[in-house]
Amino acid sequence: MSIPGDPREKVFRPGPAPLRSHLPVLGKTLEYVHDPLSAMARRYRDHGPVSDLNLLGRTWTALIGPDACQAALQNGDKAFASGPGWGYLVGPFFNRGLMLLDFEEHKHYRHIMQEAFTRPRLEGYTRTLAPLVDAGISSWSPDRAFQIYPALKSHTLDLATDVFMGGAEYAAPGELDRVNTAFVDCVQAANGYVRSTVPVPFTKWGRATRGRRLLEEFLRRHLPARRAKPGEDLFSALCQVADASGGIDDDDIINQMIFLLMAAHDTTTSTVTSMVYELGRDVEWQERLRRQCLALGPDPSLAELEELPDLALVMKETLRLHPPVPVLARKTVKDTEVLGVEIPAGRLTSVMPLYSHHMPEYWTDPEIFDPERFSEERREDKSHRFAWEPFGGGVHKCLGMIFANLESKLVLSALLRHFEWSVPLDYSPPMKNDSLPYPGDGLPVSLRPLSRVHA
């Protein structure tokens, strides 16, 4: 555990001077991309929890701090809609995904899709994932500068192909690489400056348009096989749920699959990468988890994973410091008010839970990696109902968060059983924030095989 004065302590200050831009279309976009947390801290300090700013050529209302975030996420007067908010950023590429539906329509689809995440199905996904995770991780070649992020991204895509789609035996050579690129392009379109209904060459928006088309073709080609010969994969589950309910058709299945694949693939990669980083700086916690994971064995069940409280503590603390989705998008569908500030109808709204995770009003030494803060004795996350919201909140809280947690735990436990690693205490990865945050240098770690004596 880090202690005050230790090099592992990450002292948060308002951050480096923001990148300035006098170009109206860019507004505060470059400042956010440069350092999101510092940008939020300055805005909260200078303008309070509710304020207007220019992002990507549009006026947005920023909601910062747990009180402001709670107002939008609980959405008591149904003024905030998720669909048109996210729709402005990535709507054409994750069209009709659950995150982009609202009110009664969202309730209808969420109720249907919950059947794909019941306890028995989650246990089935775990049975499928566990041996695949162990086989994939054990095949890695250790290196003193092993880039963990791209390795995890490739591995989680392989896992998604199996647990989401029932296997990749039908994929053409190189097709999965193109699928991976398509996902990346769709996600990175969120901060594209050139937005067009046609795929303009050499733009993020254009690449995402082509990527969405590729994903649709890939899934539609394999949908009949999943319906005819269902297995313990999510694609099969959605087909079965759709046929049983009559509430969603083939287009809906494809829309939801694209959204769920993106959500699971990118968020799991981000979460495990961040856990590797924090545990590489904290040998005590890494060893503590390793002892428990070695006792668990290579094919843990869902129940066995849930019986590892320390793993849950580390994951929660990592999600506090490095939430995969630091900002949530909304748009007002009628005039409303948050903390006494009026927000007009039709206003794009940026809900920023990341800053809530770092506020000293709610967290002790918030920049220190301290998983014990989530222990039953402390429960600092109870300081405010919305102090910790890495999965969002309200009716749009992530439907697949339990699945994402179990996949992340399986991957990390396999890493702990096969390897030990470290990163320099003075190293901080150069983060890219033009989509979901990721380390621009791949996050190199000194990855070493676990010694026989140790094992």
User: What's 423's DSSP letter?
Assistant: -
Tell which phi-psi region holds residue 272, choosing left (phi > 0), alpha (psi between -120 and 50) or beta: alpha
Q: What DSSP designation does 163 have?
A: H
Give the N- to C-terminal CA distance of the chain in Å, as an integer. Answer: 23
Q: Which helix or strand (DSSP H or E) is residue 237 part of?
A: helix 234-245
Which residues are CB-contacts of 336 (< 8 A; sequence separation ≥ 6)? 77, 79, 80, 342, 343, 345
Annotated binding-site residue? 398: yes
Instruction: Determine contact, residues 423/277, Cβ cutoff 8 Å.
Output: yes
Q: Read off the tokens for 233.
A: 């994969």
| Closest to 317 measured CA to CA, from 284, 281, 278, 290 | 278
Assess contact for 8 and 281: CB atoms under 8 A: yes
Please report, for residues 355, 357, 358, 371, the alpha-carbon distance to residue 361 in angstroms, rounded to integers and kept in the order given: 11, 10, 9, 18
179's tokens: 């699928």
- Cα separation of 322 and 406, whole Å? 18
Centroid of chain to Cα 120: 24
Contacts of 221 (CB under 8 A, 6+ apart): none
- Of 160, 204, 201, the closest CA to residue 186 belongs to 204
- 175 near 165, Cβ under 8 Å? no
CB contact set of 259 (below 8 Å; sequence gap of 6+):
94, 97, 98, 99, 100
Distance CA 92, CA 255 (A): 11
> Who's near 387: CB < 8 A, 6+ residues apart?
66, 356, 357, 359, 362, 363, 380, 381
Q: Are residues 326 and 354 in contact, defined by beta-carbon separation less than 8 angstroms?
A: yes
Binding residues for heme: 398
Binding residues: 398
